[in-house]
Amino acid sequence: MIINGINYRTVWMQDASVYMINQLLLPFKFEIYQSKNYIDTANAIKTMIVRGAPAIGATGAFGLAQAALQYEGEDFNDFRKYIDKSFNLLNSARPTANDLSYALNFVKSKMFVAGSITSSKMRSFELARGYADSSVEMCRAIGEHGNKLIKNNQNILTHCNAGALACVDFGTALSPIRIAHYSKKNIFVYVDETRPRNQGASLTAWELAQEKIAHAIIADNAAGFYMSKGKIDMVIVGADRIAMNGDVANKIGTYEKAVLAKENNIPFYAAAPISTFDVNCRTGNDIPIEERNEDEITHIHGIDENKNIKKIRIAPHESPAKNPAFDVTPARYITGIITKKGVIKPNKEEIAEFVSRR
């Protein structure tokens, strides 16, 4: 992605440190966060320094390689137990996105080399780097296929952030928008603010502004208004986990947008890499939904007149809050799922065929 005229990835690894764009500070401050050990990397995932299913997956892969590289013992059996412990900590950081466990299993299942700790360490790093590179290519391919759905002079609604910041590069939902923009199509993006963490207003809008893609931030509750006025031609969102029947878990509020789109005869697409499909998840009812801290509802972050980022309370002290981070959109509301292989229907047959080809 282009940031201040320079091409960045969201997350990368150098030596034994994992580096990532600190999304907690955006859009007010651009800063690279350095994670020096796998425990710190797990915490970066948990606290949302890095966020977005594909980005979480790549960060987890790097975190496991980081754990391997920093192991100081000489007993191979002990090394395997240590990797298991590291795996479990990283895997528990965020429960809903399938990409995290997918990436961790990808590295762990291939990293051990014939009883050699040194070779296993190097292999883990090569696997993590290869995983991140393949994620970039998948997102680029998603963009190419999704671009074919976008016509000139169309208006597109997004929800949450499914851009390059949510991936390693390109994005999922924003990848078709990027490719359409690079193809000189005249497009306009309506950006849901996406309460409670405002990923749309803080991250998606920031990415679009960096690449000079025409857009406007709207309140979450305004999407139906613009749909009813004929101002939105299609909806593209990302996904955190996709069940084998086509049900999609994504940022809270996605379900509402899908129902509104259906009512207004507007195509609704989810965009996702293979790592988001959970072959062990039969329907959306099987998807674990993360409940986050109520402070995300009762408080908000912003910048004051002195350009200091501050957290302020916006709700009564006496009022508790509930904060599910995701909801599940049933397959019947989804027009198609944009993948690296093209657009597939959200049904058992097409999903089974897609995941079997990987």
Each domain of the chain, given as residue ranges in start order, spans 2-140, 149-357
CATH number for the domain whose boundaries are 149-357: 3.40.50.10470
Q: Rounded mean pLDDT of 345-356?
A: 95
Say which residue the tokens 């679009």 belong to. Answer: 208
What digits encode the pLDDT tens for the residues 231-262?
999 999 999 999 999 999 999 999 999 999 99
What distance in Å separates the CA atoms of residue 160 and residue 326, rounded to the nearest whole number?
A: 11
pLDDT band at residue 97 using 50, 70 and 90 as cut-offs: confident
What digits encode the pLDDT tens for the residues 14-50?
989 999 999 999 999 999 999 999 999 999 999 999 9
More confident residue, 306 or 58: 58
* Cα dihedral value 252, 41, 98, 10, nearest 10: 70
What digits encode the pLDDT tens for the residues 269-304?
999 999 999 999 999 999 999 999 999 999 999 999
* DSSP string of 140-182, one letter each residue: HHHHHHHHTTPPTTEEEEE-S--SGGGSSSS-SSHHHHHHHHH
Question: Which residues make Cβ contacts (< 8 Å) with residue 256, sequence separation at least 6?
Answer: 223, 327
What is the reported pTM?
0.92
Q: What percent of the chain has pLDDT over 70?
A: 100
Q: Rounded mean pLDDT of 93-114?
A: 94
Q: What is the pLDDT of residue 92?
A: 95
Task: Name the CATH superfamily for 2-140.
Answer: translation initiation factor eif-2b, domain 1 (1.20.120.420)
What distance in Å separates the CA atoms of residue 224 and residue 358, rounded to the nearest whole number?
A: 36
* Active site positions, annotated: 240
pLDDT band at residue 2 using 50, 70 and 90 as cut-offs: confident
**Cβ distance 86 to 67 under 8 Å?**
yes
Of the listed ranges 4-13, 151-160, 182-191, 257-266, the least confidently predicted one is: 4-13
